[in-house]
Amino acid sequence: MRVLVAIDGSEFSEAVVNEVASRVWPVHTEIRVITAFELPLVPTPEVWALPPEYFEKLDRAARGQAEAVKDEAVIKLAGSVDRSIKITGNILPGPPRSVILEEAERWNADLIVIGSHGYGAWQRFLLGSVSQAVVSHARCSVEVVRSREHEKKAKAA
């Protein structure tokens, strides 16, 4: 079985990693942790006014943060699941929706595990929902993990 775990470093991703770590997986399962990263939008329309190293620094920072998120998840999973399970990680540039779907297809994943930020209808309309896009377009099974801590905070507010 091939399990693709898509994370972004949020508390929702932590719930995903905890869920995957708490399960008993079949012997010889492969788990691949991926993190997508994009460069932030340019803060000014005058792109020519920015020094060339500005984009290099942005790229290094985005890659570094994605690498740290991925490494933390891989270490946690490696310490929690059976040793027969192969765990790898990768950071991939691009929009999360397409990165997750393309990697699942390329790697021939049997299951994608992804978190949900729990946006309401208006936020989903404005921001989009990565988990909804993955559920709608994936060619394999998809499990959406919700953060119980986030739901408790939302009810208390």
Per-residue pLDDT of the chain (157 residues; tens, 9 = 90+): 999 999 999 888 999 999 999 999 999 999 999 999 987 665 566 656 677 787 788 889 999 999 999 999 999 999 999 999 999 999 999 999 999 999 999 999 999 999 987 655 545 444 458 888 999 999 999 999 987 664 455 445 5
Number of H helices, E strands in the chain: 6, 5
Tokens 């559920």 correspond to 135
How wide is the angle at C-alpha 144 spanned by C-alphas 141 and 150, nearest 5°? 175
Distances in Å between the alpha carbon of 84 and those of 4, 26, 104, 117, 129? 17, 9, 22, 32, 34
For residue 74, give the nearest of 22, 21, 112, 116 by alpha carbon: 21
Domains of the chain, CATH where assigned: 2-156 (3.40.50.620)
Quick one: pLDDT at residue 127? 44
101 is written with which tokens?
């779907």
Quick one: pLDDT at residue 125? 46
Q: Return the bridge partners of 88, or none.
A: 32
